Amino acid sequence: MAGQLKEVRNRIKSVQSTQQITKAMKMVSAAKLRRAQDAIIQMRPYASKLQEVLSNIVSNTEGGTNMALAEERQIKKVLLVVITSDRGLCGAYNANIQKMALATIKEKYSTQYAEGNLTIWAIGKKGAEFFQKRDYHVDVRFKDIFIKLSFEAVQLCAQAAVQAFTQKEFDAVEIIYSEFKNAATQRFAAEPFLPIPKNSPVEGKSTKKSDFIFEPEKDQLVAELMPKILNTQLFKAVLDCNASEHGARMTAMDKASENANELLKSLKISYNRARQAAITTELTEIVSGAAALQG
């Protein structure tokens, strides 16, 4: 009986220690989420408007203008930029992004994958580890972007993708990421990056044809503008994932703390019952001993 009480006490201490960790992680994630949420909320209108402008230019520009980044060709080689987190303990966040990537490969690029013409650029260590274990062709040069998140680091990735597309190393580039809605909700999406889509990807908005006045010349402006807008588009996706990660981790740690509370209640009831049984046993032994002496 004494051994059982000690075991329950040890479990209670263990759960209390774990609960302290989950509460601390929730507070840290909440602080990081606020900064990450502010960053994506400020970035989103700018990135959406730039994307709308870019889609309008692509839709309304007819031959003659250098539109290499909007060139649609037969898809033989594919690049998927999969954005996950560096760390776990954020619920099913990373698993959902990985499922989205696998579903995209199965539904759209199964032929390219079977022929060995599908490449994954992993941003975030969790995605890199997941696809490397499953023998996908993974490029990990950009996996550490979240260690020191900056526009310059993301820009290098976007520029590398643009260069690979223009040199025809890939015929299509897609981004697999999570769009931040709120701390408890993310939308997991696969969005085209290259070639530049002619229709705006913003939900609920139709692309209006606009008559642009180009200054300087159209070719020069488009060649200068396109890469910059693509840099912004990828940076916005990375910021979305950064906010989504912290929101998912905060929610997961909150649930873990609640579960720890429920477990503690159950363990304390078990401890009190075992303690009560031990006291009752001791009293019975004392009474029995006294009765035996009197007899």
Contact 86, 126 (CB under 8 A): yes
What's the Cα-to-Cα distance from 282 to each of 6, 185, 253, rounded to whole Å? 17, 55, 42
- Degrees (nearest 5) of the Cα angle 264, 270, 271? 85
Three-state helix/strand/coil letters over 161-213: HHHHHHCCCCCEEEEEEEEEEECCEEEEEEEEEECCCCCCCCCCCCCCCCCCC
Q: What is the identity of the amino acid at 142?
A: F
> How many Å apart are CA 93 and CA 186, to the nearest integer?
9
Q: Is 241 a catalytic residue?
A: no
Please state the φ and ψ torsions of residue 285, each to the nearest 5 degrees: -65, -40
Which structure tokens are listed for 268? 């304390």
Burial bucket for residue 3 (CB in 10 Å: 0-12, 13-18, 19+): exposed
Burial bucket for residue 227 (CB in 10 Å: 0-12, 13-18, 19+): middle
What's the Cα-to-Cα distance from 189 to each of 25, 83, 145, 276, rounded to whole Å? 27, 11, 20, 56
Contact 231, 158 (CB under 8 A): yes
Contact 123, 84 (CB under 8 A): yes
Report the Cα–Cα distance between both ends of the chain, in Å, rounded: 29
90, 241, 252, 256: which is the annotated catalytic residue?
A: 90
User: Which sequence positions are flagged as catalytic?
Assistant: 90
